[in-house]
Chain A
Amino acid sequence: TQLLEQSPQFLSIQEGENLTVYCNSSSVFSSLQWYRQEPGEGPVLLVTVVTGGEVKKLKRLTFQFGDARKDSSLHITAAQPGDTGLYLCAGVFWAGSYQLTFGKGTKLSVIP
């Protein structure tokens, strides 16, 4: 299993602030996904990045895949209470067949 390190583990910010969550590995991934999970529910896919250096935007969320395809970041602009949740990154890699590994997640709380 390839290891994905997410940081920070916990993040508590005021509404309106910006934040960045990081997902790092020493391994190369063929693609990387970001999910958001709310309490009592299953994770929901936000985005998939495939190309090194790729940047994708989803409203106030900006996702970036590192040039070497070993790391990714999620930046939220002007956070809102509705952004509260657990953010998970997941990397797809080849190990004889395609495999998927998850980071442990970043728990975000946005305080009104």
Chain B
Amino acid sequence: GIQVEQSPPDLILQEGANSTLRCNFSDSVNNLQWFHQNPWGQLINLFYIPSGTKQNGRLSATTVATERYSLLYISSSQTTDSGVYFCAGRKGGNMLTFGGGTRLMVKP
């Protein structure tokens, strides 16, 4: 199966700062999603983005499929952005493979 690496593993920001989270895949994927896991464990869908760029409010994501990576941008971060961000991909089959996550803490 594919391997998914996320960086950085941990990130501490001051409220209002911008950040970029990265996700690298060992192979091409035809399904790629970004999630935010809140402190209660709920995984919230952020983007379905196997290629291209999407934006949703202060969040945007870009996937360069030919180079097997995806980036998640968070602008003007807020304390409610804290939690763990996961990317996950799939190459055929039905198994969505997750990275190890980026743990983000936004301080007021």
**A and B are partners in one complex rather than unrelated chains:** no
